[in-house]
Structure 1
Amino acid sequence: MRYILAAVSLVISLVLLGLGIGQRTFWAPPETIVSQLEQSTDAQLIVISGETMDQHDGRQTVTITDDGPVTAVVGRDHDVLGWVGDAEHAVAQLGEADALTLDEVSGADDPLPSLLGSDMWIEEHEGDGRVQFAIDLPVGFSMAIQGEPGAAAPADVRVEWPFDAKTPLFGPLITAGLVFLALALVLFLLALRRHRRSRGPQRRSHRELSRAERRALARDARAGLPLPERAVRPSDPAIEPTDRSADAPTDRSADAPVDEAAPAQEPPAEGAPERGEGRAPRAASPARRRLGIVALPALAAIALTGCGPQYWPGGEPSATETVPTPTSIEETLPPVALTEQQFSRVLEDTREVVAQADADRDLGLAERRTAGPVLDARRTNYEVRGESDEIEPLLGIPDGEVQLLLPQQTETWPRTVMAVVAWEDSARAQSTLVFRQTDAREPYRLVYQATLASGVQVPAVASPTIGAASLPGDTPLLQRRPDEVTMAYADVLINGEDSEYASWFQEEGDALREQIGKAWKDEQRAKPEYELTDLEWFADEDEQAPLMLVTNEGGALLATSFTETQRTTPAEEGVEVEAQAGPAILAGVESSTRGIEQTYQIQVLFAVPPADAPEGAQIQVVGFAQSLLDAREVG
């Protein structure tokens, strides 16, 4: 019966093991989840959000196929949607059976420019006919897809996710199969043991008795002697006939009878090893071997209990919907205009473009990365350098590390970013760079560049991941209104202590006032070469509006510019006013009896205290720059 039960258990175990293995092989689910776009669109762009891409776990593989060029870019949600603007586009969603469906968003159908090259993108992928890339698109980011600029977006978009196949029956089936296998082995061993005890078929364990041994046993039987208690072993000596009468015991009360059939035990020779010494170790007993055979499947079954939860029913925790709560101050504030990684790309490209434009005097190239006062100064510099090799080029973009980065907190446009960048030559003063992006489809352009004044400390600002807010020109949150600061300081440079605004600004450490302030102007009037001329200065507003970002103390860093014109006219009739090299080229004359006007652009970076600053706090000049802007003959 035990043989039958063992056979049945073995069959059951094989069936269960086969079913369990099939769960992970030919019955296993697919390794990926595939979503295929099944409809075309007339829109020029397809937008896929991070929420859509994260509906399945794992890193996504995106494949886009089209007849022409294919472009895919990744950026933050507000950046992508800002670039799309009011243009007609399609938003991809996961529909039934994980198919990609499109929701059309109506808008302007004007041809769109290429997505490539924007400063806002985190990744860019392009190809001809086909693009494939892997990405882990998080929530808060989106992907925009474009074909040939101006044409409809590609209709063949495929997204794949790795599928961590859940086979909850694998663990129970394999475990049950191993348990039945162990049971079958136990039953088989028990049946075999019982069969041997019932003197079933066994192997021979000794050789045939010799003729002399059989005769001795027969004589003993006839003499009425009992059979030996132990079997005759092959190693025992042949039994010889003995005289029983002489050796038979006469006293029944003596010690226990001696087994005459057993050979006499001789004492061991001197120096011979004792019993059990010098013997080879015995092999494992049959009981141990049987225990090992049964333990193997049992241990395997126990080991399976440590498998991952995907192999057991109910192994995955139930998903509960939670409302996300902000975990840091960064999550409660508007996003920064530019990340550190994005600014590094902007700065590097600006360095290359400006260096090439300065070398070639290419204003069109300079317009790619400069605007406002910086571009105006280069326009004049390129013009005069084209006429004279003696004119030096303007200061380039520092080639050192970024010492400070302060992006604006905003999701809209225009956007402002301030940075302090050093030179590799540490002896050179650091520069403050102020970039501005006027529109989502425009690049960041350098608007202000000022050299930090020696010994002046830049106010503490927030980290690049937090950024700073901007303020309107008429804000009451600062000690002085920003739209009044620029021309007030220009008046101080001309009139000095006589200016009604002199108390607004800190004179100590103001290197710009030392260079071109009223004291310097008075020195120019006193020079002999200007004895027969009249010198006068007047200031005017620049077209570029001031840009500002808030500091940690509630004040602001204010970048602004204005123009200051020096007019030199003859004091007497017949006196000629000579023009210097740069102004002479711009004015078209080297000397004039009517006089020469030279206009200079002055860029200044101010640290403006907050409205609740302690008494005595003043506006401080942090950095400045001056360059020739224009020259003309008076009249």
Structure 2
Amino acid sequence: MRFIIAIGVFVVAAILLGIGVTQKLFFSGPEMITLSAEVKPNTPYMVIGGKTLTLHGNTPYITVSGASKGNFVGYGRTDDVKAWIGSDDFDALGYSTNQSKFVLAEGKPLVEDPENPALTELPEQTVISPAGSDLWLGEANAQKAATVPTELDKSMSVIIASDGTANAPGDVTISWPLPSAVPFATGFIIIGGVLALVGLILYLWALRHDRNSQGPRRRGSGPKPPKPRSLSMPKPKSLVSAAAKGRRALPRGSSFVALGLAGVLTVGLSSCSPFQAPQAPAEQATPSATPTPGIEGEPPAVTERQLGVILEKISTVVSSADSTLDANLSATRLIGPAQEIRAANYAIRKVDGGVPALPALAASPITFVMPQATNAWPRQVIAVVQNEKDPSVPTMGLMMIQNSPRDNYHIEYLVTLEPNASVPTVAPANVGSALVMPDSKLLMISPDQLSAAYGSVLMQGEASPYYGLFDLTADTLVTQVGKTYKDQKIGSLSGRASVEFSQSPGTGVPMGLATLDSGAIVTVGLNEVETVKPTEAGASVSLEGQAKTLSGISSSPTGVESTYGLQLAFYVPPLGSTEKIRLLGYTQGLIAAKGL
């Protein structure tokens, strides 16, 4: 029975494999639609528009080659592609359905595009290679042939280049995967192959069971019966033996026969499988946008998938800078207050290895995305990275800015969120949020006045005229560096030295994006300066800790000045609201120290 079951499984496997292979060989039709062009661009850049890219679907594979200095291909929104090129010359490659061939024409510079007046005034372009730009939704760069899988629509374009100085590569192939005409053929082949392996296992199991059942058997303890004498003459052995019958007819080589059968079926399974186009990596899948009724405007500065790629790049650079204490490297992705604190930390740790490093910048998981809705520059994005599975990693809020098309995104504010930070409802990430101008009069306080107002609360406490504007019930920064702390510091040095506290605006510009309740999330910078001077003749002020390390001096007869940078993120309610301004997160650190 076991052999019958095994043979039955093999038969079913053979039938399924036969059906699947027959369909693939004779009824499947073409797997791809491919169009190729061999042109000779006369400019460093070549663009293929969305109309050509979507001739046969929205997921083409674009392959470029032919340039000796490398081949680059990337895709993004058409406006972003043209903005990156700016006033530089480029060629446009299109496909003429009437002539059934590709046509190369001179591209129209963005500065002459009346449909995008906001993008015509661009700064001087210094970067010449498009490789690595944060504008691209996907890209590939190779010495010989570069292939990028895409997922796009007619609003997107492809940019092709070499190194930005040589002419763009002219060998272009666009391939569109086609839906299978026999969608169940692959399933038949896979199931048939699996059944073939199952049949092999059943066959070997049956063979083993049969051999074990034919082993020696133990006889009883009684006397052996007398052996009957044979009266017949022995038959001569024949050189040709007849085929054995019954279960004992299974020769030892049967397992090799079964193995060979399974091998043949497996080879047939692999060899008859059709050519499959390379699959786009998981991160290339574009989240489907869900339109929000009643919200219209310009597109978001970045998509969620695009932001994930950008943060991966930034995290890699900052992590490398953290390990090598390279402030120049971190400056390629951090600016303003975020860079100041990190650069000072590097300088201190180079002298004192015992000083802890700043928290690492994680790239995921991204739990909050708030891009600016804009088609122009600068562009701003707020994001929150929170790893709920690892409580040792702080939840971090990032305020990022891209100043021009050929600049990449930089983090200007990097704050650790308060434990109970509550953010009002914001527009969906696929819609984007409106920019709040620094001098906006529609908020409880304008962003450019927020830093000074909060600084006044830290300095004066309840005596500050702005004290009533802020909700301080869950504000942990006030308890650390507020008026109570400052009074205690002054009292601890009374009679030996004088302590003065002053403030100045941070190097970062106020940045804000609107929430759906007409409020805003605003980030600002604030510097607090602590000046200590001796009060007795001949006395000196001793420096300790990080201030001593950063300043390079151990004492000063005239006094010392230490500057602490504060990066602050707030929710600011709209004008007329009964709510108060809330501190969402902050980061503070020593950024300068010197003797007077």
The answer to whether the 8 Å contact 1:460/1:551 transfers is yes
TM-score (norm 2): 0.69
CA distance 1:438–1:582, change in 2 (3 Å):
same
- Matched position secondary structure for 2:501: strand
Residue 624 of structure 1 is matched in structure 2 by: 586
Structure with max Cα Rg: 1
Give me the whole-angstrom Cα distance separating, in 1, the residues matched to 2:43 and 2:165: 9
The answer to whether the 8 Å contact 2:311/2:363 transfers is no
Question: Does 2:71 correspond to 1:101?
Answer: no
The answer to whether the 8 Å contact 1:38/1:101 transfers is no
Give me the whole-angstrom Cα distance separating, in 2, the residues matched to 1:163 and 1:360: 49
CA distance 1:145–1:372, change in 2 (3 Å):
same
- Matched position secondary structure for 1:332: coil
Residue among 121, 144, 156 paired with 2:159: 144
CA offsets 1:53-74 (integer angstroms, 9 cap, x no match): 2244575454433141211111
Give me the whole-angstrom Cα distance separating, in 1, the residues matched to 2:57 and 2:483: 69
Question: Does 2:480 correspond to 1:515?
Answer: yes
Question: Does 2:118 correspond to 1:154?
Answer: no
CA offsets 1:515-545 (integer angstroms, 9 cap, x no match): 1011110011122x44311111000012210
Per the TM alignment, residue 404 of structure 1 is displaced from its structure 2 partner at its CA by 1.3
Task: Kindly provide the amino acid, as one letter, of the partner of residue 426 in structure 1.
Answer: P
The answer to whether the 8 Å contact 2:359/2:393 transfers is no
Residue 462 of structure 1 is matched in structure 2 by: 427
- Matched position secondary structure for 1:97: coil
Question: Does 2:569 correspond to 1:605?
Answer: yes
CA offsets 1:288-315 (integer angstroms, 9 cap, x no match): xxxxxxxxxxxxxxxxxxxxxxxxxxxx
The answer to whether the 8 Å contact 1:112/1:150 transfers is no
CA offsets 1:189-243 (integer angstroms, 9 cap, x no match): xxxxxxxxxxxxxxxxxxxxxxxxxxxxxxxxxxxxxxxxxxxxxxxxxxxxxxx
Give me the whole-angstrom Cα distance separating, in 2, the residues matched to 1:437 and 1:365: 18
Residue among 346, 367, 386 paired with 1:403: 367
Give me the whole-angstrom Cα distance separating, in 1, the residues matched to 2:562 and 2:31: 74
Give me the whole-angstrom Cα distance separating, in 2, the residues matched to 1:141 and 1:495: 54
The answer to whether the 8 Å contact 2:45/2:164 transfers is no
CA distance 1:618–1:52, change in 2 (3 Å):
same
Per the TM alignment, residue 609 of structure 1 is displaced from its structure 2 partner at its CA by 0.4
CA offsets 1:548-574 (integer angstroms, 9 cap, x no match): 111121100101111110001112212
- Matched position secondary structure for 2:99: helix
The answer to whether the 8 Å contact 2:569/2:585 transfers is yes
Question: Does 2:15 correspond to 1:53?
Answer: no
Task: Kindly provide the amino acid, as one letter, of the partner of residue 78 in structure 1.
Answer: D
Task: Kindly provide the amino acid, as one letter, of the partner of residue 326 in structure 2.
Answer: D
Residue 73 of structure 2 is matched in structure 1 by: 72
- Matched position secondary structure for 2:349: helix
CA offsets 1:602-630 (integer angstroms, 9 cap, x no match): 1111110012313xx32111111110010
Residue 235 of structure 1 is matched in structure 2 by: none
- Matched position secondary structure for 1:625: strand
CA distance 1:393–1:137, change in 2 (3 Å):
closer
- Matched position secondary structure for 1:142: strand
The answer to whether the 8 Å contact 2:73/2:148 transfers is no
The answer to whether the 8 Å contact 2:67/2:167 transfers is no
**Which residues of structure 2 form unaligned runs of 5+?**
1-28, 112-123, 180-289
Task: Kindly provide the amino acid, as one letter, of the partner of residue 106 in structure 2.
Answer: E
Residue 81 of structure 1 is matched in structure 2 by: 82
- Matched position secondary structure for 2:436: coil
Task: Kindly provide the amino acid, as one letter, of the partner of residue 80 in structure 1.
Answer: V
Residue among 275, 294, 307 paired with 1:343: 307
Task: Kindly provide the amino acid, as one letter, of the partner of residue 613 in structure 1.
Answer: S
The answer to whether the 8 Å contact 2:496/2:534 transfers is yes
CA distance 1:77–1:331, change in 2 (3 Å):
farther
**Which residues of structure 1 form unaligned runs of 5+?**
1-28, 165-325
- Matched position secondary structure for 2:546: helix
Residue 498 of structure 2 is matched in structure 1 by: 534
Residue 339 of structure 2 is matched in structure 1 by: 375
Q: In the comparison of the two structures, how many residue pairs are matched? A: 445
Residue among 329, 334, 356 paired with 1:365: 329
Give me the whole-angstrom Cα distance separating, in 1, the residues matched to 2:394 and 2:149: 44
Task: Kindly provide the amino acid, as one letter, of the partner of residue 99 in structure 1.
Answer: K
Per the TM alignment, residue 447 of structure 1 is displaced from its structure 2 partner at its CA by 1.3
Question: Does 2:162 correspond to 1:118?
Answer: no
Task: Kindly provide the amino acid, as one letter, of the partner of residue 73 in structure 1.
Answer: G
The share of aligned pairs that are identical, in percent, is 29
Residue 129 of structure 1 is matched in structure 2 by: 144
What is the Cα-based RMSD across aligned positions, in Å?
3.0
The answer to whether the 8 Å contact 2:302/2:371 transfers is yes
Residue among 405, 418, 421 paired with 2:385: 421
Give me the whole-angstrom Cα distance separating, in 2, the residues matched to 1:572 and 1:552: 58
Please list, as runs of the form range in 1=range in 2, the aligned pairs for 1:201-350 lying within 5 A after superposition.
328-329=292-293, 332-350=296-314
- Matched position secondary structure for 1:473: coil
Residue among 406, 424, 427 paired with 1:441: 406
Give me the whole-angstrom Cα distance separating, in 2, the residues matched to 1:446 and 1:47: 30
CA distance 1:429–1:133, change in 2 (3 Å):
closer
Give me the whole-angstrom Cα distance separating, in 2, the residues matched to 1:471 and 1:631: 34
CA distance 1:141–1:329, change in 2 (3 Å):
farther
